[in-house]
Amino acid sequence: RYGYTVLAYSSPYEALQCAMEYDRPIDLVIADVMMPMMNGHELAARITAQRPATRALYISGYTADAVANYGVAAADRLIQKPFAAEMLARTVREALAG
């Protein structure tokens, strides 16, 4: 709808494996801060270790103070749940612009 190619995965480990095998650039990782098996910060860190140009955007229903315990710093991009599609699109554009 907004012109992006989206790769969606059902688990952090599936996302990691597919990100390593994907042969095109990955500009942005969008991950929920709290997920089963691995938190969003860890997932983004593992992907950006292999793909340094990749940026991260975190999603959470918790406050910025609460997500700090999961490795997400105040300087990181964070979008709070619930949000509208337009808000997500605007935040993605901002994250991609740097």
Residues 6+ apart with CB under 8 A from 60: 32, 33, 34, 40, 66, 67, 72, 78, 79, 80, 81
- Reported as a pLDDT band with limits 50, 70 and 90, residue 73 is confident
Residue 19 is predicted with a pLDDT of: 92
pTM: 0.88
- Give 62: exposed, middle or buried? Use CB within 10 Å, 0-12, 13-18, 19+: middle
Poorest-pLDDT segment among 7-11, 51-55, 64-68: 64-68
Per-residue pLDDT tens digits for 11-51 = 999 999 999 999 999 999 999 999 888 999 999 999 999 99
